[in-house]
């Protein structure tokens, strides 16, 4: 038996799909033909993930416009001028803004699990966006006739339904994307926003049994879009103590691109709870060079000096293409990096005799 290894989520879309999406937006491609391109991308992604030797696969988010906004597809009560997230290289992403209540998802992530199961021969992991990220949709000026308390209650109900839909569809693990955790410390150095986020996400997790929580994880990273981050300048020490207050059994942590991983691992060691597993990032998705399996192995062995092997797993720092238009990492490069992670994890497992 080897250490568990899982990917975070997104895989770069095939060029043919990206071209088809652009044509569809300009009215040059029918919906049926676009759906056929999505189907081909999904089939190919799962086949290539399975060929790397991954024990758990996903849909690679091939049919999502982004990891964060999939539940908002075709909603009519949002506008585009919400919270703006600046990245280190100067580009920005902007979240939508709620204009009218009530708030409801337009699609649940369980539908992606069902689609992936048609092609997968291995267990399926599904990523979902966090309630804390979607809480940013509510504008500071409020929504007439729809107080924030009502929005939060509705949001929690929808987030629970989203996760539940994944389990009902047969997902092996569900990962809550919490990239805004580190960013929140940058937005609010008092950390009150972070504490609010933790409380909100724990209200969601309270709806699940102890056994179900063993199959739920939380992913944290400083963002990864067009090979740029939004909060890598925030010290992990400002996040980790609160991160491990989340009532989830699995924590997926960006680590390969950290300048001082030993410092981070030492803080994790101080806050790791019994029954929790940390999937450490051993692949730097912002670096175009494919890691050698030996480097992956060495990163794992370093982590094991701080985290017991029975609480350790491996992953990538982030998704490779969280937004569909992010082509900073090539599709072939992503699969090569994943294969290096699988091989490196096997090498470390043999050395650790696990």
* Domain-embedded: residue 238: yes
* Domain-embedded: residue 6: no
Whether the Cβ atoms of residue 52 and residue 345 lie closer than 8 Å to each other: no
Contacts for 206 with CB less than 8 Å, ≥ 6 apart:
247
- pLDDT, tens digit, for every residue of 25-69? 999 999 999 999 999 999 999 999 999 999 999 999 999 989 989
Contacts for 140 with CB less than 8 Å, ≥ 6 apart:
none
Pairing outcome for strands 277-283 and 250-253: parallel
* Domain-embedded: residue 249: yes
Nearest to 347 by CA among 307, 299, 305: 299
* Domain-embedded: residue 63: yes
* Domain-embedded: residue 3: no
How many structural domains is the chain composed of? 1
* Domain-embedded: residue 256: yes
Question: What pTM was estimated for this model as a whole?
Answer: 0.95
pLDDT the model gives residue 276: 97
- pLDDT, tens digit, for every residue of 138-194? 999 999 999 999 999 999 999 999 999 999 999 999 999 999 999 999 999 999 999
Alpha-carbon distance of 166 to 125, in angstroms, equals 9
DSSP tag of 5: B
Could you list the residue range(s) of the whole structural domain that residue 150 is in?
15-352
Instruction: Report the CATH number that the domain containing residue 91 is assigned in CATH.
Output: 3.20.20.210
H helix or E strand, kind and range, residue 340 = helix 331-352
For every residue of 138-151, DSSP letters joined together read: S-TT-BTTB-HHHH
pLDDT the model gives residue 226: 83
Contacts for 193 with CB less than 8 Å, ≥ 6 apart:
184, 185, 187
Pairing outcome for strands 250-253 and 92-94: unpaired
- pLDDT, tens digit, for every residue of 249-288? 999 999 999 999 999 999 999 999 999 999 999 999 999 9
* Domain-embedded: residue 10: no
For every residue of 291-317, DSSP letters joined together read: PPHHHHHHHHHHHHTTS-GGGEEEEES
Contacts for 325 with CB less than 8 Å, ≥ 6 apart:
18
Residue 223, pLDDT above cutoff 90 = no
To 5 degrees, how large is the angle CA 144–CA 146–CA 151? 140
Whether the Cβ atoms of residue 320 and residue 36 lie closer than 8 Å to each other: no
* Domain-embedded: residue 191: yes
Q: Per-residue confidence at 134, pLDDT binned at 50, 70, 90?
A: very high
Residue in the structure block whose two tokens are 């997104």: 10
């Amino acid at each position: 038996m080897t250490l568990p290894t899982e990917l975070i989520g997104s895989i770069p879309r095939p060029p043919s799909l990206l071209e088809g999406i652009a044509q569809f937006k300009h009215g040059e491609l029918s919906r049926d033909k676009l759906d056929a391109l999505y189907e081909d991308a999904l089939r190919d992604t799962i086949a290539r993930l399975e060929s790397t030797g991954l024990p758990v696969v996903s849909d690679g988010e091939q049919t999502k416009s982004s990891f964060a906004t999939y539940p908002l597809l075709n909603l009519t009560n949002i506008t585009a001028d919400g919270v703006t997230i600046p990245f280190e290289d100067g580009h920005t992403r902007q979240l939508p803004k709620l204009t009218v209540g009530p708030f409801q998802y337009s699609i649940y992530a369980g539908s992606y699990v069902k689609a992936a199961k048609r092609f997968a021969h291995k267990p399926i992991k599904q990523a979902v966006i966090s309630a804390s990220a979607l809480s940013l949709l509510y504008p500071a000026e409020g929504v007439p006739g729809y107080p924030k308390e009502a929005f939060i209650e509705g949001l929690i109900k929808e987030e629970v339904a989203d996760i539940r839909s994944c389990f009902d569809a047969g997902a092996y693990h569900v990962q809550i994307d919490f990239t805004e955790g580190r960013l929140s410390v940058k937005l609010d150095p008092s950390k009150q926003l972070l504490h609010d986020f933790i409380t909100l996400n724990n209200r969601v997790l309270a709806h699940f049994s102890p056994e179900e929580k063993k199959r739920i994880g939380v992913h944290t990273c400083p963002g990864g879009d067009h090979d740029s981050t939004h909060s890598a300048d925030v010290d992990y020490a400002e996040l980790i103590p609160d991160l491990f207050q989340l009532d989830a059994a699995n924590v997926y942590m960006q680590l390969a691109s950290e300048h001082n991983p030993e410092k981070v691992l030492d803080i994790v060691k101080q806050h790791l709870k019994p029954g929790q597993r940390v999937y450490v990032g051993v692949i730097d998705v912002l670096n175009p060079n494919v890691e050698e399996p030996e480097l992956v192995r060495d990163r794992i062995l370093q982590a094991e000096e701080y985290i017991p092997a029975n609480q350790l797993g491996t992953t990538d720092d982030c998704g490779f293409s969280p937004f569909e238009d992010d082509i900073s990492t090539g599709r072939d490069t992503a699969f090569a990096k994943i294969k290096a992670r699988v091989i490196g994890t096997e090498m470390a497992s043999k050395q650790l005799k696990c």
